[in-house]
Chains A and B, each alone.
Chain A
Amino acid sequence: MGQKWLISGSPGCGKTTWILNTIKRNQGACGYLRLTEQANNGQKKSPESLIDSTFLKDQVPHLQDLSDCPDISISKHKDLLIFVELSQSHSPEKLEAVGINPYVKSQLESLKLQPDRHLHFGRDSELPNNDTLVFKDLASWSLNLARSVWDPQSLNTFWFELVNGAYGDVYRAKGLMNLPDGQSIFFNWIVSQKGSQFLPLKTVSPPNGRPERPSGLVIQGQGLDCINIQSTINLCLLNDALLEMHQMPLRDRQPEALRAS
């Protein structure tokens, strides 16, 4: 018999990682859906949902991504263990009374998803207590990076500057970044934890032009210098000619030849 679990918590508390580990342990079929606290201006998926669902699908290929399902059909997945992830940037004052806001409620109702369990990070002891930071008035900035490919060394520099405060107080940053060799790397950083997590996705695109898979960046913090974040990113992304220069030698791997500089 299928189960529906609602997993909520503040950004960076470890929801996606916990869901991933639980899915990996679970023998049966699982489904995944991400809800937002606020309406999304008609956009189907926010960059954050895209990042999370793409990452989970890559790690667990048999996972069913339910976010694109027509509303009525989700309730038909009777045998699935369904995880509904809910990010709450405004933590409730009292943890005991973790409320689900009316917008989320209406989403759950329209999807005919009545959670069998609701687990909240910071309240339920079976969840790891990774993050005790309570974020209030978090600014959030995101960018869809579909078909964008980074100069790898520039990406290193940008990420270093970003998480060290060059563009405002960043509490959380998460991204899926395309590299010219066809790799997509999951970048994950939170202020309360040491160092960034860099996980290459298992799925690699051929080094042949711009990859079609999802890519994006989400940043949460305070006093974010969004203009300079965007302009720095623009300086880091490869144009077609440079992308081809990176990819050409990977395509026709010949005996190593020296070129005069």
Chain B
Amino acid sequence: MKHAVISCLHANLAAVKAVLNDIDQKGISDITCLGDLVGYGPQPNEVVDLVRELDIACCQGCWDEDIIEGLNACECSYPSQLAEKRGHLAHQWTAEQLTDINKDFLASLPTSIRRDRILFVHGSPNSQHEYLLPDMNAFAALERVEKAGADTLFCGHTHQPYVRDLKNGSIRVRLQNTSNHNAEEKEINLPMRKIVNAGSVGEPRHGSTNATYVIHDDVTGQVEIKEVVYDIGLTCQAIIDAGLPRIFAWRLSHGFEFAEQAEDASHVCER
């Protein structure tokens, strides 16, 4: 059966509606969302209302967590002072806008969703803040999937959709310790695993302004990356009408994220 995975909606209602419409047209009713329903974008309540209304299974993203628990992201997750100050501004605005019901909903979201050997998370199984980029050290990437006890790991957070297959792996080691005078050698064969990044619906960063999501066929294991055109002008106008910084509209309409991505993308905050 096919199911759709969406992520990083970022309070961009026009993009969310366009993607949901695209999924509906393909006759897919099973949708999983990897979090970051809000943050930067102008329609946080509208987006959360819609997700609740459609009863979409969701994990919590870093923005969803921060809105509930107060600004929790450490400074190190922002690449610059400018990005941090803009992030704080967006945070404050979103926290003021969100209704209590929607805050409670975001607070109730789990950090991961498991379906047999498939795990859905926002960032990585380690943290909602960790970026799993497509060029991350392959062994470290495989370690994340193994740690999760999964065959396939769905994640978001980077806003760049990709499918990464990790296979034919092995590691040879030589061990010396106090009880063996001759070094002991062994080879470990590694399992085959897959990481799927669902990209971003509301804040794309893959070189185009289109919203992205993925469709997974759990019988064949095939994953398709989908791009959806939406009315970006509508969202940009809503940003300006809401009194959010105009630069957010400019960045969105040029296919840049509202704030730049962390330079050290593999950085995990040890809070």
Given A153-B80, A156-B80, A261-B74, A161:B86 Cβ within 8 A: no
How many chain A residues have a CB neighbour from B under 8 Å? 19
User: What range describes how many residues of B lie at the interface?
Assistant: 20 to 34
Q: In the complex where A161-B247, A261-B269 touch, is A154 in contact with B74 (Cβ < 8 A)?
A: no
Q: Contacts A153-B80, A156-B80, A261-B74 hold; do A235 and B250 have CB atoms under 8 A apart?
A: no
How many Å lie between the Cα of A165 and that of B270 in the bound state?
A: 38
Is A203 part of the binding interface, using a Cβ–Cβ cutoff of 8 Å? Answer: no
A157 an interface residue at 8 Å Cβ cutoff?
yes
Cross-chain contact B82 with A154 (CB below 8 angstroms): yes
Assembled-state Cα–Cα distance A165/B74 (Å): 31
Extra contacts besides A153-B83, A154-B81, A161-B251 (6): CB < 8 Å:
A153-B79, A153-B80, A153-B260, A164-B254, A236-B81, A261-B267
Question: What is the CA–CA distance of A229 and B205 in the complex, to the nearest angstrom?
Answer: 24
Q: Are B85 and A228 in contact, CB atoms less than 8 angstroms apart? A: no
Interface residues of B in 45-86 (CB under 8 A from A): 74, 76, 79-83, 85-86
Cα distance, A261 to B245, chains bound together (Å): 30
Instruction: Please give the distance in Å from B61's CB to the nearest CB on chain A.
Output: 20
Give the contacts of A140-197 with B (CB-CB under 8 A): 151, 153-154, 156-158, 161, 164-166
A-binding residues in B (CB < 8 A): 74, 76, 79-83, 85-86, 245-247, 250-251, 254, 260, 263, 267, 269-271
Interface of A is mostly: helix
A157 touches B250 (CB 8 A): no
Contacts of A261 in B (CB 8 A): 74, 76, 267, 269-271
List of B residues within 8 angstroms of A153 by Cβ: 79-83, 260, 263
Nearest CB of A to B239, in Å? 13
Question: Is the pair A235, B86 in contact by a Cβ cutoff of 8 Å?
Answer: yes
Cβ–Cβ < 8 Å partners of B267 in chain A: 261
Q: Which residues of A contact B (CB under 8 A)?
A: 151, 153-154, 156-158, 161, 164-166, 225, 228, 232, 235-236, 238, 242, 260-261
Chain A residue contacts of B81, Cβ below 8 A? 151, 153-154, 235-236, 238, 242
Distance, CA A67 to CA B210, complexed state (A): 54
